[in-house]
Amino acid sequence: MTNDKKKIVEQALSVRTLDEATAVQDLIAFAIGQRYQRPLGDRWNNQGILTGSGASYDHKALEIVTNMQDAVLELAAIRKYGSREDTPFKTPHDAAASLLAGFDRRERGELATVTIERASPGYNKKQVTLVTRDFGCGIAPAGIPRGIFCVGAKNKDGIDWQQGTFGLGGATTYRNARAVVLVTRRHPDLLGSCQSDLISVAVVLWERHRTTTNAYYLVTREWDEDDPSTWEKALPFSIPASDIPDFEPGTHLALVGYDTAGFSRRSGDEKSFDTVLNTRLFRPVLPISYRNNLTRPDRDEVLDGLARRLEDNPSDTRTEGGAVLPFNHGGTTYHLPIRFYLFAKPGGKGERRNFVANGHALLITSNGQAHSHWTPQDFKIRTELKKLYDRVLIEVQSDALPIEIRTELFTADRAQLVHSNAAMGLEKAITSFLNDWPALIEANAALIREAIMGGNNDRPTLAIAEQIARAFKAKGFSLGGRRHVPKPPDPTPAEDLYDNPTHLEGPDTVEAVVGTVKGIHFKLNAKDGFISRRAKPLVTCDHPDIGSHEITVGDLHMGRFRVAIAVPENADLGNYKLELELDNWPKTSGGLGPRFEWTTKVEIIEHSKPRPPGPKPGPDKGGLVALVWKDHTDDGVDWTPATVGEIETVSGSDLADRHPEYKDLAKADAEITTIVLNRLFSPLKSYIQARAAVLTDEGKEQARDRYAVGAGVALLVLDDETRRAVKKTNNPPDEAAIHRARRAAARGVLSVLPAYDRLAKEIEG
């Protein structure tokens, strides 16, 4: 009989397929003599409670990783302090740094491992078996129903140094697995005097019952939901640990037949397990060991988070920067570190997809783990930095917020922000802070300038642009330059920056709306690093609700820096003074430099004041609009022959600088709606080539002009309708659908141009 029980454990550890899991379940039933079923979560009809928010199951799979890390820390903590409650740490990272101080990175990684295995004899790329093994505290038989098999367990509640202090945990993954196999042994050092050293085995399977599907596992006695006396006795099958001494304390968990988007792919793919883990566990509490037995069975990796990977792999094609976001909630201001990483253009060396998981442009982390994220399309919609959506990654660290606030901000499965005033306020503050970040503004502007650089055609477009504007207005739409929000000062050329600065200046007056983060920009002709490394400005405000904690100062970059103010929602309205002082800073030649000071009047207002409409290029022109032709073959353009074009918002000065015919806009305090069309759009190119025999060169250009009017108006209408829909629903648009609509509109324009019918016949022939 002992050999039969050992066989159960050994086979459970080798389960990779549903059939193998079912066979182990049958062995357990045979050993017990009955099939005593206990529902997962101690509730029948549990399919619903095991289904979380609609977030990706690839992301939820990381819950079993954080559970392993918690188990490792729990063992070390109880060994040292006697109990979890007496462990003094406030965060998981603090606990790991202290409790595992004697372990190097690889030794820490070996305490928790993940392996990707084949889930069926045939090769289904979308379905794998995730096998995890930790050498942590392990679970006693009585702890299994109350912990790992309980939905929304309270066993970590209030234990702030563990990642599972709130949330649904690993149980959110079970709904996506065809079976779950657990083999666990509580560490002998943690057993009470009356507890036996046991290895427990449980297999979770799904069973259909009428209209519902239930998850259950087998226990050694009958379990009755109406009889509490059975709850403590109906426990999973166990054998003495002495029967299999090679099974060290800790937990083995296998998610059998787990459906994924790309976990089986090679390391480095944007959907592979390692990339998803590194992105979502951006700054993990502990590294883990990883092996993909589907693609690289001979390769063991240590995964230690994307922050560490980026730090270990510096690149000239990537820029980054950091700042501190002052976020006011409930009358208290918290300082949230925020950092950006700007990668190379898509398709280039060092592009974002080589490092970052698919669908991630911004992360809001807690304990280093992503609890909410923006997709690239979210980033494009919510910020004014439209050109950065496919290159940028932002991390916002929320750890400065008390855990009670964080539990209110995020869904229990750590998938997204809840729809609450606090969460919406945080996203609003993040958006405002990003839109006001000089380094990001300049990077976005550089890409816009690149986008409007014309191809090899010098044909004037101003008259065509005016015609498009009139046609757009005639259709009931309105154009007009959008007034600039006061922007950061222009960068200072490197040759005008000094080791020892000589000049400081800032704005005379600014407006700040209550309940927002206001950025005030200053210029200092010092080299990067002067502020923070050699000098720290003293910034004060005489507003009674704005103290030093409501103010943060960013780093000096290219001669400018930002002071951010979190204006409380209940702040008094009126005019106040913000004073900046820079004194007692050491000169490179020795001694102290001169004292700099600046005073800015800050008007606290309740709502943003409406701004007058922007200037128009001329009477009855229909508004501000520009037209630029590009080729998809131009450097820096990520178009294809199927790309019609796009709508850009360009400053008047940038437009005038690159296209002299728009020189009248050089000093316009407005952003100009600019239509950028692909001169080599495949159907347009075919149309022009087909008419080449009967058209002069001027005739060809006139045909392109007629096409530009129709396609330009169509793109403006689509852009306007998309913006309205996004504003109404707050959901990102379907980019593929937009591109299809643009192509359809462009083809429609070509269909009404002369000689199209003859062209169509020639193509069909």
Distance CA 395, CA 281 (A): 11
Exposed / middle / buried, residue 659 (Cβ in 10 Å: 0-12, 13-18, 19+): buried
Question: Domains along the chain?
Answer: 2-303 (3.30.565.10), 314-448 (3.30.230), 458-481+616-764 (no CATH), 494-605 (2.60.40.10)
Tell me the CA distances in angstroms from 229 to 35, 181, 220, 238, 642, one per residue in order. Answer: 19, 26, 14, 20, 69
Average pLDDT over residues 271-296: 96
Give yes or no for residue 762 having a pLDDT over 50: yes
Give yes or no for residue 570 having a pLDDT over 70: yes
Task: List the structure tokens of 356.
Answer: 């970052």
What confidence score (pLDDT) does residue 621 get? Answer: 43
Residues 249/187, Cβ–Cβ less than 8 Å: yes
pLDDT band at 635 (very low <50, low <70, confident <90, very high): low
Question: Could you say which DSSP state residue 317 is in?
Answer: T
In order, the DSSP letters of 171-216 are: GGGGGG-SEEEEEEE--GGG--TT---EEEEEEEEEEEETTEEEEE
Contacts with 162 (C-beta within 8 Å, 6 or more apart), sequence order: 70, 73, 74, 84, 92, 95, 156
Residues 551/537, Cβ–Cβ less than 8 Å: no
- Interior/surface letters 15-29, b for 16+ CB within 10 angstroms, e for the rest: bbbbebbbebbebbb
Cα four-point dihedral sign 135, 137, 141, 147: negative
Distance CA 691, CA 698 (A): 12
Summarised one tens digit per residue, pLDDT across range 165-196 is: 544 567 889 999 999 999 999 999 999 888 99
Tell me the CA distances in angstroms from 753 to 176, 209, 688, 740, 761, one per residue in order. Answer: 54, 64, 11, 21, 15
Average pLDDT over residues 12-33: 96
pLDDT band at 624 (very low <50, low <70, confident <90, very high): confident
Question: Could you say which DSSP state residue 532 is in?
Answer: I
Look at 102-111, 170-179, 565-574 and tell me which has the smallest mean pLDDT. 170-179
Residues 597/582, Cβ–Cβ less than 8 Å: yes
What does pLDDT average to over the chain? 89
- Three-state secondary structure readout of 213-279: EEEEEEECCCCCCCCHHHCCCCCEEEEEHHHCCCCCCEEEEEEEEEECCCCCCCCCCCCCHHHHHHH
What confidence score (pLDDT) does residue 156 get? Answer: 60
Distance CA 43, CA 47 (A): 9
Exposed / middle / buried, residue 756 (Cβ in 10 Å: 0-12, 13-18, 19+): middle
Distance CA 2, CA 53 (A): 44
Look at 42-56, 415-429, 581-595 and tell me which has the smallest mean pLDDT. 42-56
Average pLDDT over residues 332-336: 96
Range with top average pLDDT, 278-292, 456-470, 481-495: 278-292
What confidence score (pLDDT) does residue 454 get? Answer: 65
333: Cα separation from own chain's centroid: 24
Amino acid making up residue 251: T
**SS3 state at 144:** helix
Parallel, antiparallel, or unpaired for β 625-630 and 517-524?
A: unpaired
pLDDT band at 118 (very low <50, low <70, confident <90, very high): very high
Residues 512/429, Cβ–Cβ less than 8 Å: no
pLDDT band at 479 (very low <50, low <70, confident <90, very high): low
What confidence score (pLDDT) does residue 1 get? Answer: 54
**What value, to the nearest 5°, has the Cα angle with vertex 244 and ends 240 and 250?**
80
List 183's β-bridge partners, or say none. Answer: 201, 252
What confidence score (pLDDT) does residue 52 get? Answer: 60
Amino acid making up residue 179: A
Distance CA 507, CA 523 (A): 10
Average pLDDT over residues 309-332: 94
In order, the DSSP letters of 115-128 are: EEEE-SSS--TTEE
434: Cα separation from own chain's centroid: 14
Look at 82-91, 174-183, 339-348, 721-730 and tell me which has the smallest mean pLDDT. 721-730
**SS3 state at 308:** helix
Give yes or no for residue 410 having a pLDDT over 60: yes
Question: Could you say which DSSP state residue 45 is in?
Answer: S
Distance CA 695, CA 754 (A): 12
Distance CA 23, CA 217 (A): 13
Average pLDDT over residues 422-448: 93
**SS3 state at 490:** coil
Average pLDDT over residues 654-681: 86
Average pLDDT over residues 518-526: 96
Distance CA 90, CA 162 (A): 9
Summarised one tens digit per residue, pLDDT across range 201-227 is: 999 999 987 667 889 999 999 999 889
Summarised one tens digit per residue, pLDDT across range 697-748 is: 888 888 899 999 999 999 999 988 888 888 777 777 788 889 999 999 999 9
What confidence score (pLDDT) does residue 728 get? Answer: 78
Exposed / middle / buried, residue 658 (Cβ in 10 Å: 0-12, 13-18, 19+): middle
pLDDT band at 512 (very low <50, low <70, confident <90, very high): very high
